[in-house]
Chain A
Amino acid sequence: MNHFLSVERLLPILLWVAGGTVVVFLIAPIIAIMPLSFNEEPFFTYPMPGLSLRWYEEFFSSDVWQLALRNSIIVAVCTTLLSTALGTLAAIGLSRPECPFRATLTAILISPMIVPVIVSAVGIYYAFAAVGLLNSLTGLVLAHTAIGAPFVVITVTATLASFDHNLMRAASSLGATPLEAVLHIMLPIIAPGVVSGALFAFVTSFDEVVIALFIAGSEERTLPRQMWSGVRETLSPTIAAVATLLIIFSTLFLATIQWLHRRAERQKLMH
């Protein structure tokens, strides 16, 4: 009996040790790279000889990095607008009770999430070469929209699953046109889904590197594309500085998504 009890007590401790180690493995690299971006010397070891902002200065004063940052923002913003509009419309269509072939249509619409990105990238490269869309921000926006829109379809469809379509019928019986019903009834209710879909699309584009490697020329290089060359060629702490900025950005992003989730849960409870 005594032996039985000790195993009983030991197991949760073992679980904490094992799980805790894995959490450290998950978080440590992200935590470790941040201070190195403030290192005075271009080394990647601790202890650091002194603190400095020179790598951030290099990032903000370098034409190459600034062009990459500007391209990334332009492409991500355009991708977000385009994929949110197309994706939300499609999700509304798919959720209508009378929609035919729903499963097949959904499968096709989310296929860009399933196809390995290298296959998409090479295919798009091959097709864009034929129509002169290589080396252009337009080409990059179109390609990123194709892989970003499925995230919008999925998040908005999930939000619409709990939407009561009787509300739309009620609105039209009260004299609202279909457009008015969508704008005043449906959109406000599904807004959290649309916003998180938009955030997903933004991050998908902002992080994407494989397609950018194939279809963007040197004038269109994006932040991830520039990081890729930085890591491959001359690994300088500027990479650590960019990484730190991106980690801060993804933390803010995660916080927003969590907040939206919680808001949606609370709304569900209120109904």
Chain B
Amino acid sequence: MRALLLVAPLMLFLVAIFIVPIGMLLTRSVDNREVARTLPNTVAMLSSWDGRTVPDEAIYAALATDLKASSREDVAEIAKRLNYYEAGTRSMLLKTARTIRNAKSPYKDAFVAADAQWETPRYWHLLKRAMPELTAFYLLAALDMSRDETGAITTVTPENAVHIDVLLRTFAVSASVTLLCLLLGYPLAALIARSKGSTANTLLILVLLPFWTSLLVRTSAWVVLLQSRGVVNSALAWLGVIDPSQPLELIYNRIGVLIAMTHILLPFMVLPIYSVMKSIPPVYLRAASSLGAPPLSAFWRIYLPMSMPGVSAGGLLVFILALGYYITPALVGGPRDQMVSYYIAYYSNQVTNWGMAAALSAILLVAVLILYAVYNRMVGIDRLRIG
């Protein structure tokens, strides 16, 4: 009991500052209470509407009452919400709301005067679709899907399909970075593992120093180095490899993202592989070669399989960390290199579409949690050591 009392302060703190906020965010991905909250009378009337005929005056009157009773901000919010279903509905609803504020019964004429399309069932269908308090709309939209009028799930038109592209790109960049880290990290880990004493120590410190250097410092360093008039291009020009008037484009594109992210994540690959390699007894390799195995086959059949636990631990860790990257691609990538984190920031910060920000967050979070569960089974999450 006393143990729990000691754990309680941090637990309560994290629940308040971390768990509840993320829970609130994630519920926004299915939350759809705007319409029901702002248009209660309309929602009540529409639920008994047959959907085929044009609504009668009572329904027009209900919508008029709701619009008169709600604030401009609330109307703007549902107008924005309806616009996700169909472009153009936003301005139409805003205009109608302005007209209706001064209108008197019969309301049907006032609505039709504001916009002739109120006389068709289409917009009432849109309202009815936006009524339920829970929606899969954002989660479907995050996977480039939507429901048509009949409620069936369909894929959106190719020119509107952006999110699958972003998710695939996020996976592709993360996988490439993982592969590059593995190619660079494996020999370095092997070198440290077979070095002795102070050499091994020095090499290890040279891996740890960038590890502890601020992410932003390292990203800025790459921006400075990779610019068209930066250190790398001027060194290449000086060496005569390139024409100084035509510097290589090393930044604000995929190359820059891969270089900077590989640099930043490399220590997360080297350290786990090194710690596994350190525990491989060198006597095994000597035994293999004394039995006649050439060095390459001793490596291939003895050393590589024995170092695999380190490779999978490092690979998984680098891949998981890469999935959530935001700062580095934002600073060294071009518009076609932004990953899912960028779009989460974009939807919450720039266009204030919380539903989409939440849906993309949910997808990213689920992917990361699944991979951590795999990591936990293979490596043990308690081995998630730092330093």
Contacts and interface: CB of A to CB of B under 8 A. Distances in A.
A63 to B, nearest CB: 21
B224 interface: yes
Contacts of B214: 206-207, 224, 246, 250
A175 B263 CA distance: 55
A111 B18 contact: yes
A217 interface: no
Interface in A66-117: 86-87, 89-90, 92-94, 96, 98-100, 105-117
B5 interface: yes
Interface stretch (B6-14, B73-81, B98-106, B305-313): B6-14
Contacts of A46: 231, 234-235
A253 B211 CA distance: 12
A30 B209 contact: yes
Contacts of A203: 212
B220 to A, nearest CB: 5
Contact of A119 (B2, B266, B365): B365
Contact of A43 (B5, B6, B229): B229
B187 A22 contact: yes
Contacts of A228: 216, 327, 331
A210 B219 CA distance: 14
A108 B14 contact: yes
B108 interface: no
Nearest to A126: B25
Interface string A250-261: 110110011001
Interface in B335-379: 341, 344-345, 348-349, 354, 357, 361, 364-365, 368-369, 372
Contacts of B231: 32, 36, 44-46
A-side binding surface: helix, strand, loop or mixed?
helix
B206 A11 contact: no
A201 to B, nearest CB: 12
Contacts of B25: 119, 122-123, 126-127
Interface size class of A (residues with CB under 8 A): 35 or more
B185 interface: yes
Residue picked from B22, B23, B229, most chain A C-beta under 10 Å? B22
Contacts of B372: 114
Contacts of A36: 224, 231
B349 A119 contact: no
Contacts of A243: 217, 220-221
Interface string A131-169: 000000000001101110101011000100000000000
Interface stretch (A49-57, A231-239, A263-271): A231-239
A119 B364 contact: yes
Contacts of A115: 22, 365, 368
A214 B346 CA distance: 11
Contact of A227 (B184, B220, B349): B220
A235 to B, nearest CB: 7
A29 B386 contact: no
Contacts of A32: 221, 224-225, 231
A158 B219 CA distance: 31
Interface of B: 2-11, 13-14, 17-26, 28, 184-185, 187-188, 190-192, 194, 203, 205-210, 212-225, 227, 229-231, 234-235, 263, 266-267, 289, 294-296, 323-324, 326-327, 331, 341, 344-345, 348-349, 354, 357, 361, 364-365, 368-369, 372, 381-382, 384-387
Nearest 8 CB-CB pairs, A to B?
A: A116-B324, A93-B6, A19-B191, A127-B21, A99-B3, A123-B22, A18-B187, A123-B25
16 contacts: A15-B191, A22-B184, A23-B207, A29-B218, A45-B230, A99-B4, A100-B4, A109-B11, A116-B365, A120-B21, A214-B348, A227-B217, A243-B217, A246-B213, A254-B209, A257-B212
Given A92-B6, A109-B11, A146-B18, 16 more contacts: A12-B194, A18-B187, A26-B206, A26-B207, A27-B210, A32-B221, A94-B7, A100-B4, A127-B20, A128-B21, A207-B216, A213-B345, A214-B349, A227-B216, A231-B220, A239-B220
